[in-house]
A and B are shown apart, each in its own frame.
Chain A
Amino acid sequence: MIKDITLGQYFPGESPIHKMDARTKLILTLVLIVIIFFVHTYIGYLCVAALLVLTAVISKVGARFVYNGIKPILPIALFTFVINLFFISGETVIFEWRFIKITLEGLRQSVITVVRLVLLVLSSTMMTLTTSPMELTTALERLLKPLSKIGFPVHEIALMMSIALRFIPTLLEETDKIMKAQTARGADFEEGGLIKKAKALVPLLVPLFVSAFRRAYDLALAMEARCYNGGEGRTKMRVSHFHKRDLFAFAAVGLVVIVIALGY
């Protein structure tokens, strides 16, 4: 169960979406995330949803992977739905029982909040599913390049991010292993109150930290052995360039932005 987290889960492929410049995907995802907060009409939501569905279809990622991407937020979405449903007051009451009152406005608002949440996560999921973390950090590095002129360590931060992503599955696996080892010796991670549970995590976190530091040392040595010498003079295996498909993508998102800006 601990491996279910799909953070940064890349689904390799050869679709136009995959081949798109990672910078395009990064920028457009940011644009989409921002624009979703400005949408206030059904047509607007429909446009954004249609765009994302289209992306998913073209990318051939498969519904299961897309669903896996948004699955973690479903409980949160449900929670906000219920909260909104009961606490947003309005005029048109559609259901009333003792102190519980559901209004049409409340229902509308709750649905919109959930849709908004799902669309937000969906847009970032589509990006991470079709872009390898390495491409993503490279894109970030290239976009932030101007900042290195004022002494901002762009290359180092990009590298740290990609290494962090690389070690997520490794450390998850390790956590699982340590947990099982401690459980086998009678440790209990499930029962007790909050404080007891937090205390039970100590024998899990200490070995995890120790091993993470050892891994960091090993990795640094291995990187040095492979001639790593900072960002200076490095080249990249895959450098994406702007193509026609990037223009199409910009046009498609641009269209949605215009529709929303016009107030639909």
Chain B
Amino acid sequence: MSKQYLTAHTVDEAHPAEIFSLALTPTSLLSASGSSALRVHSTTDATFPLQQTIPNAHKLGCHHVVTARGGLGNVAASVGFGGEIKVWALHKPEAASGQQPEWQLRWEIPPSKAQAQNGNANGGVIPGDVWAVALSADENYLACTTSDGRIHVWDIAARERIQTYETGARGGGSFAMAVDLSRDGRLTASGHENGAVYVFNNDAGRMVYSLSGLAKPVRTVAFSPGCKRLAAAGNAGVIAIYDMEHGEHVGNLVAPAARAAWITSLDWNDSGEYLLTGSLDGKVKVWDVARGVCVATHSETDSAVWSVRWLPKSDRALAPGVPRSEMFCAAGASRSITFYREATGS
């Protein structure tokens, strides 16, 4: 049985350049693009009004912005094309003042520090630039990948790097294009240009699984909310599902089309039943994980979709008369952000 989603709202020209990344808090949506500013839209209003623009966040443009999945939504992190990481904190004025909460820069990790290697054993190798980033559910830790295949974990409060996972000989690892932290904080996963997916145990500080299955570049990895599963996807155009108890490849979600487009982004819904994907051919798909089938396809645009995200479950209705239902959003080369909601009732 297919599911039906309706377009709830579209924010046209949300950015002056391609939108590369979306991140959600319980009340708002952060977006990053090829321009230097980050934008924040409210998700508690049916018109999704612009709440805040953070100018000059990343001079060369920004390719990743993240919040903690399942977190409180008080911290965000973004990475610019220049290789700098910025950590943002939501500043909440006193309730009486009547002012809106506002994101403020809390900490910047410059490129030289962000890509730093252990000790000084540089050996003349130029360290790779920082690429993907993830935040832990408790908003205390940040994991980022580098183009030479490393994964660094930072303690945000202490402002220091506490762990570096190597995935190849020094400087020889395959470009780590994606990273995620499990909501229980126990595991880190990375997806690489050579198709490899690695899982690390954060308590033990070492790799636990090296997962095969996707021979092509992996552009996105995500742990299920219950931390039992890991989903990975990319140029292969299929979604590989791995079991995290034994590190087994338990199945692929495959579209029936002859040639599947590259998948750029994937996200689990809060119940862990559905996966949302976006791809370069402009399609947004919802997958039923248990049955292994695609249950909804949206193709509002022909141009690349770079990011898709479920909105966190909310108890409040968006507007009077609009039933509460699960929502997601998508953005990409079209520069607009489209919100969808599940069609409920009859």
A binds B: no
Q: Which residues of A are at the interface with B, using a C-beta cutoff of 8 A?
A: none
